[in-house]
Structure 1
Amino acid sequence: MTPLLLGLIGLALSLPIPALLARTSWPLLVPRAGIILWQSFALAAVLAISGAALSTALWLVTAERLTWWRIALHLVILGVGVLVWARFWWAAWTVWRETQARRRRQRHLVDLLGEADGMAPAIRILQEETPIAYCVPGIASPRIVVSQGTISTLSATEYAAVLEHERAHVRRRHDLVLESFTVLHRAFPRFLRTDAPLVQSQVMVELLADDAARKSCGEASVARALVALAGAPTPAGALGSGGSASVRMTRLLDPDPRNAPASGLAYLISVVVLVAPTVLLAVPWMAHAIHTLTG
Structure 2
Amino acid sequence: MTSCLLLLCALGLAAAVPVARGLNRATWPDQSPVLGLWVWQCLVATVLLSCLTALALGMAAVFRTVRYHLFGSAPPDVVAAYQLASAPAWATALTLLLAAGAAWTVAVLVGHFRTVRRARGAARSRLRERAPELPVGLPAGRGPLLVLEEEYPDAWWMPGSPSRLVVTTGALRRLTASQLEAVLTHERGHARARHDWLLHLSAALAGGFPKVPVFTHFCEQTHRLVELAADDTAARQCGHVTTASALIELNQHRGVLPGESGRRLLEGRVNRLLTPPPTLRPRQRTPIVTAAALAPLLPLCIIFAPGIDALD
Which interval holds the TM-score relative to the shorter structure? Answer: 0.7 to 0.9
Q: Does 1:114 align with 2:108?
A: no
Within 1, Cα distance between the matches of 2:99 and 2:127?
42
Q: For each residue in 1:86-129, what CA deviation from the matched residue of structure 2 results, as whole angstroms up to 9, or x when unmatched?
A: 12322332232122211111121122113243545732333332
Deviation at 1:254, TM superposition (A): 4.2
SS at 1:135 equivalent: strand
Classify 1:231/1:175 alpha carbon distance in 2 versus 1 (closer, same or farther; 3 Å).
farther
Q: Which amino acid aligns with 2:25?
A: R
Q: Does 1:218 align with 2:226?
A: no
Q: Which amino acid aligns with 1:213?
A: A
> Greater CA radius of gyration, 1 or 2?
2
Deviation at 1:267, TM superposition (A): 1.2
Q: Which amino acid aligns with 1:161?
A: A
Q: Which of the residues 95, 100, 120 maps onto 2:112? A: 95
Classify 1:232/1:114 alpha carbon distance in 2 versus 1 (closer, same or farther; 3 Å).
farther
Deviation at 1:225, TM superposition (A): 0.6
Deviation at 1:231, TM superposition (A): 7.2
2:69 alignment partner in structure 1: none
Classify 1:19/1:29 alpha carbon distance in 2 versus 1 (closer, same or farther; 3 Å).
same
Classify 1:189/1:175 alpha carbon distance in 2 versus 1 (closer, same or farther; 3 Å).
closer
Deviation at 1:41, TM superposition (A): 0.9
Within 1, Cα distance between the matches of 2:287 and 2:271?
21
Q: For each residue in 1:232-276, what CA deviation from the matched residue of structure 2 results, as whole angstroms up to 9, or x when unmatched?
A: 77xxxxxxxx99323322332345753134433431221232123
Contact residue 228 and residue 269 of structure 2 kept, 8 A: yes
Contact residue 7 and residue 77 of structure 1 kept, 8 A: no
Classify 1:207/1:191 alpha carbon distance in 2 versus 1 (closer, same or farther; 3 Å).
closer
1:86 alignment partner in structure 2: 103
* 1:130-279 → structure 2 map (5 Å cutoff): 130-138=152-160, 140-185=161-206, 189-193=209-213, 194-230=215-251, 244-254=265-275, 257-260=278-281, 261-279=283-301
Q: Which of the residues 6, 9, 13 maps onto 1:7? A: 9
Query: Sequence identity of aligned pairs in percent?
Result: 25
Q: Which amino acid aligns with 2:93?
A: V
Within 2, Cα distance between the matches of 1:35 and 1:231?
28
Shifted more, 98-107 versus 218-227: the winner is 98-107
Q: Which of the residues 31, 34, 37 maps onto 1:35? A: 37
Contact residue 182 and residue 234 of structure 2 kept, 8 A: yes
Within 1, Cα distance between the matches of 2:16 and 2:120?
30
Classify 1:8/1:145 alpha carbon distance in 2 versus 1 (closer, same or farther; 3 Å).
same
TM-score normalised by structure 2 residue count: 0.77
Q: For each residue in 1:180-236, what CA deviation from the matched residue of structure 2 results, as whole angstroms up to 9, or x when unmatched?
A: 3334445x6333344111111111111221122122211111010111223777xxx
Classify 1:231/1:137 alpha carbon distance in 2 versus 1 (closer, same or farther; 3 Å).
farther
Within 1, Cα distance between the matches of 2:157 and 2:98?
37
Q: Which amino acid aligns with 1:100?
A: R
Within 2, Cα distance between the matches of 1:21 and 1:15?
10
Classify 1:19/1:282 alpha carbon distance in 2 versus 1 (closer, same or farther; 3 Å).
same
TM-score normalised by structure 1 residue count: 0.81
Contact residue 31 and residue 277 of structure 2 kept, 8 A: no
Q: Does 1:46 align with 2:68?
A: no
SS at 2:152 equivalent: coil
Classify 1:16/1:169 alpha carbon distance in 2 versus 1 (closer, same or farther; 3 Å).
same
Within 2, Cα distance between the matches of 1:282 and 1:34?
28
Within 2, Cα distance between the matches of 1:272 and 1:52?
18
Q: Does 1:284 align with 2:305?
A: yes
Q: Which amino acid aligns with 2:44?
A: A
1:236 alignment partner in structure 2: none
Q: Which amino acid aligns with 1:227?
A: I
Within 2, Cα distance between the matches of 1:95 and 1:201?
17
Where does structure 1 differ by over 6 angstroms across 4 or more consecutive aligned residues?
none
Instruction: Give structure 2 stretches of 5+ with no counterpart.
Output: 65-82, 255-262
SS at 2:165 equivalent: strand
Q: Which amino acid aligns with 2:34?
A: R
